[in-house]
Amino acid sequence: IMFCWGDGSSGQFGLNFENVSVPIAGNIFSDKVTEIVCGEQHTLFLTVDGRILSCGRNSKGQLGRQRNRDSKLPVGQNNCTPW
């Protein structure tokens, strides 16, 4: 479970919510996540099996996918080997 709040207009919560004024608990994965790293408008998740998922703003390729395609829900990286 992760807690999030604030401006999520770029999809960085991974919950398909835009703005949250009070902390909410989100459990968005069927996989177990071991680490979460947040940028200004994007979030990366590392799963126990070494996969990387990302969501949020992608204007400069920060999600590791095609540029200029933001993601409101976490999507796995096809170009990464298990971490």
What average pLDDT does the segment 11-17 reach? Answer: 79
Dist. CA 57–CA 72, nearest whole Å: 8
- The amino acid present at 60, given as its one-letter code, is K
Structure confidence by residue, pLDDT tens digits, 36-65? 999 999 999 998 888 899 999 999 989 988
The answer, yes or no, to whether residue 82 has pLDDT greater than 70, is no
pLDDT, position 32? 86
The answer, yes or no, to whether residue 83 has pLDDT greater than 70, is no
pLDDT, position 39? 92
- 35 confidence band (pLDDT: 50, 70, 90): very high
Structure tokens at 54: 């990302």
